[in-house]
């Protein structure tokens, strides 16, 4: 049998609506292996790796909230929300607690690390790819923003700004489109109230809280008074 797919629902906290997570179960025998993709990625990036490991592991992957076929505009994009999603996937697929290996790339590596810290009883091993325990560089949000700005943006009608089905104004050719989830992630990682309308590259906060605030927001999500 080939991989199977399922969509699970994760309840929101406070007044946030539930989030749908698109999951791929590649099957396999042995201890569970949960694969977490990076920023702007999707679980399909793991397909070739998953196929190789099904001989020795039970392999599952999912699209993170705000990515792929999962809910694209979640109300909560904090680090804690991503950890809750991992726990929900583990429970939904019955992955054995204490035998689980988390494999995370970039943002997925951060989620894997935080999940192991919050739920040590679940995780046997971590595999971190382009990720580690250090906080981000203060220049990281600007670097990521510049990288995303380099992507081409097409407009179906030259000289006009198309609108989405929801009436959202999209960017003109060559201009970046910021979704609400992307704006929320950028604000969380920089510890600011940055807006795309400012037309400035998002950077980490300065002043009395400085980069400590930006790093804390990146790892744990924005806190009150941040």
Q: What one-character-per-residue DSSP string does 28-58 give?
A: -SSSEEEEE--TT--GGGGHHHHHHHTTTSE
The residues with which 126 forms a beta bridge, in sequence order, are: 102
Whether the predicted model's global pTM rises above the 0.75 cut: no
Domain identity same for 9 and 89: yes
* Same-domain check for residues 109 and 164: no
pLDDT given at position 40: 86
Q: Please check whether residues 191 and 86 belong to one and the same domain.
A: no
- Per the domain annotation, does 135 fall within a domain? no
- Look at the chain and count its residues: 226
Q: What angle do CA 193, 195, 200 make, to 5 degrees?
A: 110
Q: Name the band, by pLDDT with cuts 50, 70 and 90, for residue 60.
A: very high
Domain boundary among 99, 129, 159: 129
The CATH number linked to 13 is 3.40.50.1820
- Number of domains forming the structure of the chain: 2
Considering just the CA atoms, what is the radius of gyration of the chain in Å?
18
CA distance 89 to 84: 9
Q: Which residues are registered as beta bridge partners of 105? A: 129
**Could you tell me which residue, 31 or 200, shows the higher pLDDT?**
31
CA distances from 144 to 103, 122, 140, 158 (A): 22, 32, 6, 28
Q: In this predicted structure, what is the pLDDT of residue 161?
A: 47
* Whether residues 59 and 112 fall in one domain: yes
> Over the stretch 16-30, which tens digit does the pLDDT of each residue have?
899 999 999 999 989
Classify residue 34: in a domain, yes or no.
Answer: yes
On whether both 75 and 175 belong to a single domain, the answer is no
* pLDDT (tens digit per residue) in 160-187: 444 443 333 444 444 455 556 566 666 6
Parent domain of 48: 4-129
Domain annotation covers residue 134: no
Q: Do 165 and 117 belong together in one domain?
A: no
């Amino acid at each position: 049998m080939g991989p199977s797919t399922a969509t699970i629902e994760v309840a929101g906290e406070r007044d946030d609506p539930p989030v749908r997570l698109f999951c791929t179960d590649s099957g396999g025998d042995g201890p569970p292996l949960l694969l977490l993709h990076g920023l702007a990625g999707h679980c399909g990036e793991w397909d070739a790796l998953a196929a190789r490991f099904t001989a020795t592991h039970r392999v599952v992957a999912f699209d993170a909230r705000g990515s792929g076929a999962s809910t694209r505009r979640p109300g909560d994009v904090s680090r804690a929300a991503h950890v809750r999603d991992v726990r929900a996937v583990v429970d939904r697929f019955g992955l054995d607690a204490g035998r689980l290996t988390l494999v995370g790339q970039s943002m997925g590596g951060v989620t894997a690390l935080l999940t192991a810290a919050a739920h040590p009883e679940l995780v046997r091993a971590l595999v971190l790819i382009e990720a580690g325990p250090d906080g981000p560089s203060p220049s990281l949000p600007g670097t990521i923003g510049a990288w995303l700005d380099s992507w081409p943006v097409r407009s179906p009608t030259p000289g006009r700004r198309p609108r989405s089905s929801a009436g959202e104004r999209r960017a003109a050719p060559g201009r970046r489109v910021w979704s609400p989830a992307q704006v929320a992630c950028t604000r969380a990682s920089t510890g600011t109230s940055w807006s795309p309308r400012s037309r400035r590259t998002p950077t980490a906060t300065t002043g009395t809280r400085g980069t400590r605030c930006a790093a804390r927001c990146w790892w744990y999500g924005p806190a009150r008074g941040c």
